[in-house]
């Protein structure tokens, strides 16, 4: 594997790890009574909302998933990022 490809895969893998942590913190803060105008919460929203939006659209289209009492898009996005992170090195070979 070339150095450029290795560096690219490593960087994307690092960004996926960062996104997974940000999603976890974002999900936890959505359950807590926090000030939504705080800079940290706004930063989390700017990072996580674009990642969650496509999954939310898919969940809303499914009658089964949209009828659940919780927002399942967090879990689906987290698992999708996990799968991408695991498959990325295999695809890059």
Which pLDDT value is given to residue 15? 93
pLDDT tens per residue across span 39-60: 999 999 999 999 999 998 988 8
Domain that holds residue 15: 3-92
d(Cα 23, Cα 91) in Å, to the nearest integer?
25
Instruction: Give the three-state DSSP class for 33.
Output: coil
pLDDT value at residue 23: 94
Q: Say how far apart CA 18 and CA 30 lie, in whole Å.
A: 18
pLDDT of residue 80: 93
All residue ranges of the chain with pLDDT < 50 are: none
Question: What is the domain count for the chain?
Answer: 1
* Half-sphere CA count of 24, side-chain side, radius 13 A: 9
Query: Is the pTM here over 0.85, yes or no?
Result: no
């Amino acid at each position: 594997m070339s150095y450029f490809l290795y560096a690219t895969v490593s960087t994307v893998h690092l960004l996926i790890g960062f996104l997974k942590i940000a999603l976890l913190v974002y999900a936890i803060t959505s359950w807590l009574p926090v000030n939504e105008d705080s800079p940290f919460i706004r930063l989390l929203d700017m990072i996580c909302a674009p990642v969650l939006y496509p999954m939310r659209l898919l969940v809303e289209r499914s009658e089964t998933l949209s009828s659940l009492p919780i927002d399942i898009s967090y879990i689906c996005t987290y698992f999708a990022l996990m799968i991408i992170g695991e498959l990325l090195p295999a695809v890059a070979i």
